[in-house]
Amino acid sequence: MVRQTIILPVLLATAFNVTAAPKPEAVTTLQAQWAQSATQQPFSAKRGAELWRKDGIVQKGNVVRCTTCHGEDLSQQGKHARSGKVIEPMAFSANPDRFTQIKKIKKWLKRNCKWTWGRECTAQEKGDLIEYLVSQ
């Protein structure tokens, strides 16, 4: 009986928590750093999702967004708009290697915010975007 009372809640918790995999350490570390400079709200996956689809600058006659290269479905591979290079899925659930290296996250956020929006992202935006991607 004692054992059951322990096991049941654990099982239930596992069953309902399948989608909420723990955040990689790199993400918690970075978000803690960004939270210090971002005075605004807690990071939100919902805002991140909006940013992910937000119109960026015009490149070669086309408005670009994150989805221009990463595709509409985060669990699928994307394709770079210019080079055609295959980009592995961004969804953390589909690609557990994602968001595990601080250096790599910082590098690509810097490059791709400039590519897509023509400027670096704010700490709030970075935190929201990663919150969204990790939740997928």
Angle, CA 51 vertex, CA 57 and CA 119 arms, to 5° = 40
- Tell me: does residue 114 bind another protein (CB under 8 A): yes
Residue 57 tokens, joined: 């600058």
The answer to whether the CB of 34 falls within 8 A of the CB of 124 is yes
Sign (positive/negative) of CA torsion 68, 83, 60, 113? positive
In the range 63-82, which residues lie near another protein by CB under 8 A?
A: 80, 82
- Tell me: does residue 119 bind another protein (CB under 8 A): no
- Tell me: does residue 110 bind another protein (CB under 8 A): yes
In the range 85-104, which residues lie near another protein by CB under 8 A?
A: 85, 103
In the complex, what is the shortest distance from the CB of residue 114 to another protein, in angstroms, rounded to a whole number?
A: 5
In the complex, what is the shortest distance from the CB of residue 111 to another protein, in angstroms, rounded to a whole number?
A: 5
Residue 7 tokens, joined: 């096991």
CB-wise, 46 or 107, nearer to another protein? 107
CB-wise, 8 or 58, nearer to another protein? 58
**DSSP result, 54-95:** S---EETTEE--HHHHH-S-TTS-EE-TTT--EE----TTT-
Binding residues vs another protein (CB under 8 A): 80, 82-85, 103, 107, 110-112, 114-115
